[in-house]
Copies of this chain bind each other. A is one copy, B any other.
Amino acid sequence: MSTTTKNQNPESDPRVKAVFDDIRATRKSDFINNMWHYLAFDPGLLETTWAEVKAVMATPSALDPLVKELLYIAVSVTNGCGYCAHSHTAAARAKGMTDEQHADLLRVISLAAKTNQLATALQLPVDPVFDADHHP
């Protein structure tokens, strides 16, 4: 079930083939997951989306690669995105997430969901000390 048609021969388009080749080279794997197969209906959208994912997730930066995957899971779960929860949990495991870390991740993000709900229900006024502008 999807809202666009999956192209049966996406790499006949050279722009799509170039992106798929770069995904395979970057990930050192022949597997191309459905996200990229379905985005291929518009090569421009495929190119800009992959370029950003590569720049943010597959390029060394201030945060550790596994930490970035955990953050991706946290957002995906909070947004209720099933595809994303599946793909990024698999990615986190591939990057070394242990069962203990997985359980700890669940503890933190489910507690955050709970206290978010409390804070919103109480409509808490922000403590002035938390304002970055007024306390540099």
Evaluate contact between A72 and B112: CB separation under 8 angstroms: yes
B72→A108 contact, CB < 8 A? yes
Asked if B121 and A109 make an inter-chain contact with CB atoms under 8 angstroms apart, the answer reads: yes
Do A132 and B87 touch (CB < 8 A)? no
In the complex, the answer to whether A77 meets B115 with C-beta atoms within 8 Å is no
- Closest CB in chain B relative to A89 CB, distance in Å: 4
Interface of A is mostly: helix
Inter-subunit contact A103/B53 (CB<8 Å):
no
Query: A38-B122, A101-B63 in contact; A76/B112 too (CB < 8 A)?
Result: yes
Interface string of A1-39 (1 = CB under 8 A from B): 111111000000000000000000000000101110011
Docked pose: A35 CA to B115 CA in angstroms: 9
Max chain B Cβ within 10 angstroms of own Cβ: one of A38, A63, A112, A129? A112
Contacts of A3 in B (CB 8 A): 85-86, 89-90, 121-123, 130, 132
* A interface, CB within 8 angstroms of B: 1-6, 31, 33-35, 38-39, 41-42, 44-45, 48-49, 52-53, 55-57, 61-63, 67-68, 70-87, 89-90, 98-127, 129-133, 136
